[in-house]
A and B are shown apart, each in its own frame.
Chain A
């Protein structure tokens, strides 16, 4: 018989090993499926490693994929710290992308030097409003934000399709449901010649650093943690619980909105309905792997991006569906949650009685 006993404090090495162990376990289980369909596991895994980090091109591609994951990961991490379960990163990402297109495709007259900052601010604002609505529902009416943020994703997905078929449809787009392209001045600069890597990565890294300081070193960050862990005691001590929840939700939405802007203004140049392959949801996995630490989001986003890129390469070579990466990421989340149990409890094996 197995039983769980609470433990006082998790040792530091375990807190670090748990996320790595979770990702390894996820890879191992997913690889068993490869074995089941007759694929040799180690060459396949090697293909993944090579595809993700085996060349300068592969590294740049992994970093490119990590860029939106960094921002959506930060969005989830900051929200979850305050126990605001924002599952709506995907929708907020698309809101940010729409705002970027609305501002950046020539509709607004602005000096070229100001256009990119305006695009980013608009995207952040759009994402923030997208998260503010469910947060207001939670604070004012007790509406469960897991439900409202999740369902808003589908509402926003339909809104995007409607806009791309209607007001935002590119008249020069040969009938494709896509937006007009952003002006050149609205685009994020490339970091490396002839690679897709763009300045959104620097934005994400910088924001991770800033958020780390905010969370660990500011009065506001301490309030966020207090409200997240014990809203009643926080209210008793005089902290503005409702205001903190609203502010955290808006910050989280703004980060997800920036992820959308990064994909449009850094990569594609225009908006389509398949802009994100689920970066908003993968951000949740990133945040959990990072233990909700903003700086931890950086390695976690790179790891998850490596899984995506590596699985793409492997899939192309071996003829496996690219859903393999989604499988690994989903399994990683399950294992991280199970690992969280290990951090809180000690597992004891006990003799079963006859």
Chain B
């Protein structure tokens, strides 16, 4: 049931004063077999407070929110939520509908929207009694529009969600929770899909929500975001709460150390002059629909990393598929060391010395049910070190896998364990080992650190820089602008399939990249059009 009243506005001006608690977790403990996912976690969220929940992958953030939202039931501990009068009462465990009714709203990383329905229909979906033929449109509509105005969530309500951009879809998700009168909002890695400008808009919304007396839990592993939006930070590590403190006075290095448990050193790119051209694209058009590139000119030289920035869905997938050998150009020419047919198929690309790191390691990188040794050998099954006369050389494969486990620091019990049992970071190490072990001359790294924690990200960066030192030409497609700026020698920006640049990365910064990503050609730095 949806009441027409707005939740009471708390006194947001009284920063620093004791806020009435909206939510309290007491001693939450959750075990999955051997793994202790959450251990005696206490947490309190006040009205009008923005709390950053920081932690690496596998630190227990998702488990904790799943317990909060009733998807899992805690083994011990309880969740207390304030009712309308501000009195805390325990939430029945393991019931999402109870969490919803108590005013807890969750915006997942992967949105839960029906693409064929409009934004408005998605928002009211499920809040109307089933026997009513049409939703009570005028009233609901007025409420949604008022909410959107007040919280800075302007969005086209009458377009099918499938035709909206990612930022707009996220705004609809947030409106959906607000329409259901959520007073506690949990945002799970909300900026992963946004441009820097969109992220700024989201931060403004989060601040407006807090000013309105709601509590926001902002889950992230990006330290810059914590500083941009939160007042207090809770750090989880290996299922335990290791810090709960106001942000003021806590530096970024301190947060990183708390999160990882030790110092992490990011590798540094040492400047050196690039070598001969390895890959040349001339006027290439390929792909279909939104994932299309048009008139693309690009030269990659030995020993350099060229970064590609852009909002997802602006042609990156087509460019990546082209280099991976999955897509052939309709027009234009692709030269790899002078040869034009080198990338006609994935197999040909491998043979031509292209090391490929796919965007989605679980979808395109590894076969989860196959063991580690097989996954490492998958690109070169016919090679003499893998097979003889069509028969697999299991012993040699295992031996090679053992060496890779050692050399790449893959945390796995052995070469026979199915890849699906490994963590994301270790899975990515399999993909890296497969792509880089043979010493490729061209490397395609498509979102190589997406979803990885700080330590694993540093590891990937180190290996990419190593390949660069060795003389490989590397195309790095990434949504993480800080990653691009620190790793790439030059950066190009894809917008609607057209490439601006690449420009010397020393002449770029995050705001400029953001403008280029939004299609403002005027933002082109005049100084840095590198040769």
Contact = CB atoms under 8 A, between A and B. Distances in A.
Interface string A1-34: 1010101110000000000000000000000000
A215 B215 CA distance: 56
Given A230-B367, A350-B94, A222 B381 contact: yes
Contacts of B387: 218-219
Interface in A297-354: 346, 350, 353-354
Contacts of B55: none
Contact of B370 (A7, A220, A226): A226
A234 B367 contact: yes
Given A9-B418, A219-B390, A350-B94, A238 B365 contact: no
B325 to A, nearest CB: 8
B94 A238 contact: no
Contacts, number: 87
Contact of B346 (A217, A223, A236): A236
A346 B421 CA distance: 16
A35 interface: no
A233 interface: yes
Interface string B17-44: 0000000000000001100000000000
Contacts of A346: 33
B379 interface: yes
B356 A236 contact: yes
B350 A218 contact: no
A230 B365 CA distance: 9
A235 B73 contact: no
B422 to A, nearest CB: 11
A190 interface: no
A169 interface: no
A151 B310 CA distance: 48
A229 B391 contact: no
A247 interface: no
Contact of A237 (B98, B379, B418): B379
A8 B418 CA distance: 10
A229 B364 CA distance: 12
B345 to A, nearest CB: 7
A226 B391 contact: no
Contact of B364 (A220, A223, A233, A239): A233
A233 B367 contact: yes
B391 A217 contact: yes
B92 interface: yes
A225 interface: yes
Nearest to A353: B92
Contacts of B379: 237-238
B365 A233 contact: yes
B393 to A, nearest CB: 10
A229 B368 contact: yes
B60 interface: no
A289 B345 CA distance: 39
Interface in A77-121: none
A232 interface: yes
Nearest to A9: B421
A353 B370 contact: no
Contact of A219 (B32, B382, B418): B382
B392 A226 contact: no
B137 interface: no
A112 to B, nearest CB: 35
B95 A353 contact: yes
B394 interface: yes
A166 B422 CA distance: 61
B346 A237 contact: yes
Nearest to B98: A353
Contacts of B386: 219
A219 B381 CA distance: 6
Contacts of A1: 94
A218 B94 contact: no
B2 interface: no
B324 interface: yes
Given A8-B33, A353-B92, A236 B324 contact: yes
Nearest to A240: B347
Contacts of A219: 381-382, 386-387, 390-392
Interface string B296-334: 000000000000000000000000000011100000000
A218 B421 CA distance: 24
A229 B374 CA distance: 13
A225 B369 CA distance: 9
A294 B195 CA distance: 52
A215 to B, nearest CB: 11
B93 interface: yes
A232 B392 contact: no
B33 A7 contact: yes
Contacts of B350: 237-238
26 contacts: A1-B94, A5-B32, A217-B394, A218-B392, A219-B386, A219-B387, A219-B392, A222-B374, A225-B367, A230-B363, A232-B363, A232-B364, A233-B363, A233-B367, A234-B367, A236-B324, A236-B326, A236-B365, A237-B350, A237-B378, A238-B325, A238-B345, A238-B347, A346-B33, A350-B94, A354-B92
Given A218-B390, A237-B350, 9 more contacts: A3-B94, A217-B391, A219-B386, A223-B381, A226-B367, A233-B367, A235-B326, A350-B94, A353-B94
**When A and B form their complex, which 6 residue pairs have the shortest distance between CB atoms, in order from nearest?**
A238-B347, A238-B346, A229-B369, A237-B378, A353-B92, A230-B367
